[in-house]
Amino acid sequence: MQKDRLISRDFLLFGLLGLLAILLFILDIFFGSLLIPFKTILQVLAGIGDVNPEIKSIVLDFRLPKAITAVMAGMALSISGLQMQTIFRNPLAGPFVLGISAGASLGVAILVLGFSSVFTLGLFTISGSWALVIVAWLGSALVLFLILAVSIRIKDILTILILGMLFGSASGALVNILQYFSNESMLKSFVIWTMGSLGSVTKSQLNVLIPSVMIGLVLSFFSVKSLDVMLLGEQYAKSMGLRVRNARFLVFTSTSILAGSITAFCGPIGFIGIAVPHIGRLLFKTARHKILIPSSLLIGSIVMLLSDIVSQMPGYESTLPINSVTALVGIPVIIWIILKNRKFSSV
């Protein structure tokens, strides 16, 4: 028996999810305030035919970067959520609830409000973007390691979640205080940052966002095997030969980079990180990261693209904030997890 190989059902699911992701990617480019014929969009994407340069610019400079950002955000947040759920052995862990996104915001706030001179360079230069993303990583990492330090002493998972929320609130409070003491021009650039969304990511920022997310994802691929054994807890992982501290450091680095990068450019986006891994588990009925990581990548992209399409409100001029849409998508999944766990613990 070769149970290790992917069964045909898994292949079929991956194929369908892949197709759905591609379809939604094209649809996401198609929908926007200006109606562009589908054929024209395909022509622009393929680089053939004679297309009005303005239309070409809308597609290539605005809609394509936005769709790519949606895919990046979906992948990064889902993988960071998956990693947190495994490390903390908590189905409700995710970058948003653990305060990791808030930590990233704090990093950005300190940079933007504390060192305005950097920002005379502007948010939109490459060096400004890298500075932004690196402080977001550091902010995320700070919160993560605080939670880790506490989790060594306190094993109760609910306590850790609550502490995560407290760290998040504390970061938020510090950001508010920083805002209070900063001058008008600093405040202005910070407020612009807080209004960040998928659509605000420019082509040049993508040059920073894409490699950042790729680094985080590559690190998570190296954790495939150790994440599996960490499901059983630290003692078992150690007894099977895992150097727990190193493995955890790798996972935390990956999570900080993934959650930090997205928060740096798109602002905090909630609930994707918690919800998507569970959809993956539900579809593939497995706990192995060899399958959960690729499935979270695909489902994360799909959910984010879908949320973006919904937030465009096809047919209307205005757009909804992406964070509200992801909350409405993610919260039912979370309620389902809570109900399911309650049932389980009472058996």
Partner 1 sequence: MSNEQVNITVRNLSVGYKKGKNFVAIKEGINVNAHSGELIALIGSNGIGKSTLLRTLTGFQKALGGEILFNDRKLGNFSIRELARVLSFVSTEAIRVQNLRVWELLAMGRYPYTNIMGTLTDEDNRIIQRAIQQVGLAGYEDRMIDQISDGERQRAMIARTLVQDTPLIILDEPTAFLDIRNKYEIIHLLHDFVKTENKTVLFSTHDLNISTSEVDKIWLMLDDKVVEGAPEDLILAGNFDQMFHSDKVYFNGESGDFMLRKNVIGTYTLIGSEGKIFNWTCRALQRIGLVYAETDPLVVINIPNMEENPVWKVEINSKEKLEIYSLYELTAELYKRLSGL
Which of 269, 131, 275 shows the shortest CA–CA distance to 200?
Answer: 269
> Binding to partner 1 (CB under 8 A): which residues in 80-99?
89, 91
Which of 140, 89, 80 shows the shortest CA–CA distance to 272?
Answer: 80
Compute the least distance from the CB of residue 130 to partner 1, in Å.
30
Q: Is the dihedral of CA 280, 282, 287, 290 positive or negative?
A: negative
42 binding partner 1? (CB under 8 A): no
Nearest residue (CB) to partner 1, 251 versus 306: 251
Query: What is the number of alpha carbons within 13 Å of residue 7 lying toward its C-beta?
Result: 6
The length of the chain in residues reads 347
The one among 9, 203, 225, 339 contacting partner 1 by CB under 8 A: 225
Which of 64, 19, 30 shows the shortest CA–CA distance to 309?
Answer: 30
106 binding partner 1? (CB under 8 A): no
1 binding partner 1? (CB under 8 A): yes
Cβ atoms < 10 Å from Cβ of 101:
29
228 binding partner 1? (CB under 8 A): yes
Compute the least distance from the CB of residue 246 to partner 1, in Å.
10
| Rounded Cα–Cα distance for residues 82 and 100 (Å) | 14
Nearest residue (CB) to partner 1, 34 versus 240: 240
> Binding to partner 1 (CB under 8 A): which residues in 231-250?
231-233, 235-236, 238-243
> Binding to partner 1 (CB under 8 A): which residues in 185-224?
222, 224
Here's the x/- map for partner 1, 252-281, by CB under 8 A: it reads as -----------------------------x
Which of 101, 88, 92 shows the shortest CA–CA distance to 154?
Answer: 88
- How many residues line the site for partner 1 (CB under 8 A)? 29
Compute the least distance from the CB of residue 4 to partner 1, in Å.
4
Which of these segments, 129-137, 176-184, 230-238, 304-312, binds partner 1 (CB under 8 A)? Answer: 230-238
Q: Is the dihedral of CA 163, 166, 170, 176 positive or negative?
A: positive
The one among 39, 317, 344, 346 contacting partner 1 by CB under 8 A: 344
Cβ atoms < 10 Å from Cβ of 327:
18
Asked whether the beta carbons of 40 and 55 are under 8 A apart, the reply is: yes
Three-class secondary structure of residue 316 per DSSP: coil
> Binding to partner 1 (CB under 8 A): which residues in 285-304?
285-288, 290
By CB under 8 A, name the binding residues for partner 1: 1-4, 89, 91, 222, 224-225, 228-229, 231-233, 235-236, 238-243, 281, 285-288, 290, 344
